[in-house]
Chain A
Amino acid sequence: MATNTINLSPIHSTSSLRSLSFRSSQNAPSLSFYSHPKPSLTFPSISLNKSKNPTKPRAFTTTITSAHKNLTETELIAVPPLPNEVNEKFPSDAGVYAVYDNNEELQFIGISRDIAASVTVHLKSVPELCSSVKVGVVDEPDRAALTQAWKSWMEEYIKASGKIPPGNETGNITWVRQPPKKKPDLRLTPGRHVQLTVPLEELIDKLVKENKVVAFIKGSRSAPMCGFSQRVVGILESEGVDYESVDVLDEEYNHGLRETLKKYSNWPTFPQIFVNGELVGGCDILTSMYEKGELAPLVKK
């Protein structure tokens, strides 16, 4: 019989927990639940009462006996159909949450720094699996407390059902937010030893006119090779701009680009940013526009 392994990344974010075995310099916290008011709803809240007398470090115990509001006793809250209504029903606090499908089958137990935001993301990505949710707000939400609360719910479910929630199995990435994959940089030519049938100026012209935003940078977007290019990449990505990047230092696939581009744009330095086929400028201009709030309207036109 195949054995399932637990996915040890319950946090719904790009930063996942590396391990669940950690040590505390104090006694294991006792967890007590109390009502956490929210419009017409109450959420169990896990508060940590740390012992005043620190003893020698010891591992946290895995079973929490003092929690009188466990997973089965926690109220199941229906998820509203529209993502923008989630904030009205769920807290924006840190804690644990358990997601159930239409058949009230548990799909995933997660940790979040903002439960409402996590539920919203799940509702958008897997609406068919996100019908109702149980919430446990953690009162002092350090990583240890959050993980401990998650472990207690996980163990309770595994003990009762004999299985791991499907979304928590290793390899299941349905519920864990994946970092966006970086686009590859564009190459203007098949290689420096290939004879071009079209002048490089024409290739540049075609490129900037066929793509909304093009950044000619030193290095790649994943590893810019100068501070100015790094800043430009940072600004474009923080604005969520869908842009194409071209590495002007790539002499293999963009041979002669630097000098040709300087003539084409009548601009002597890099990076260079084009929007709708027009040169916007370099790092200084882009930074200035970004700081004044002029960039977003331009790139989203």
Chain B
Amino acid sequence: MLSFLVSAIRLGMTFLLGSTGETITEKAGHLNLGTPGVMCVGAACGCFVEDLYLSQTGLYADPVIAVLLPVAAAFIGSAVMGLLFSFMTVTLKVNQNVTGLALTTFGVGVSDYIISQTGLAFQRGSKFFNASFSFAEDLGWFGELFLSHGFLIYLAIFIALLTTFVFNKTKIGLHLRAVGENPATADAAGINVSAYRYAATCIGCGISGLGGLCFIMNYLNGNWEYCIDAIGWLAIALVIFTVWKPSIAILGSIVFGGLYIANTYITGFTIQDNELFKMLPYIVTIIVLLFTSIRDSKKNQPPQSLGITYFREER
């Protein structure tokens, strides 16, 4: 049970990073269906740099740099993807859905290519990522559940809380929400809509990309798997689920994580039934989707201009 919860949390934080990033992007009015691709790229960039760093330093790798360097690489690589998305949708004003899907194709390709250059094993780097408080073990179940995780896990929660704070309590958050709700109004109020959309998308993608890295390093312990894009789609689903609130997403993501791995922890099933069990997170997503839409409330609506390209001189 305990190891199930620990795994659920680790996988959950992957979802959390992915969905927090997507939430930031969506709050600015961008529906980025490229997030699965972005998360792939984030993971690949992080792993690549980790590999490079560890091969350079040999045995004496600095544990702090061994974490921060790949994290920075994942963030930057993903943010570049966000830049590409913004260039297409803000500067060239083309359809967001189509651009997003193309970005996913492109991102999966890029990450596969990068990984083809490094191999699939990053266990050594993963050790640095999963390094935690030394006293965690002394605290029994409490320690293992809450304190045994690596840096990225806590970073994920911190980012989610910080994002909530920025959305609700700061001027930047107010402006960002205005841009996503009603860009024409924001524009007339002197807010640079394009700049906000660019920045939110790049930062959002950067955070989503960390989710990809978290998946490989923290959850899979450094064994690369080609399924990050599926995780990415669930991260997008999580955004709607948690009604664009990263604070709610902290819990929601752990539930998602639990559902996703439940099949490996419930014993007594054949291998075939296992495949059926893997449907669970998707079915639950659909059920929650149905619930939220039936209980349609005014407060929990997506940003009003989500997915709509803004052009000031539109008449």
Partners in one complex: no
A interface with B by C-beta (< 8 Å): none
Q: Which residues of B line the A interface, CB within 8 A? A: none
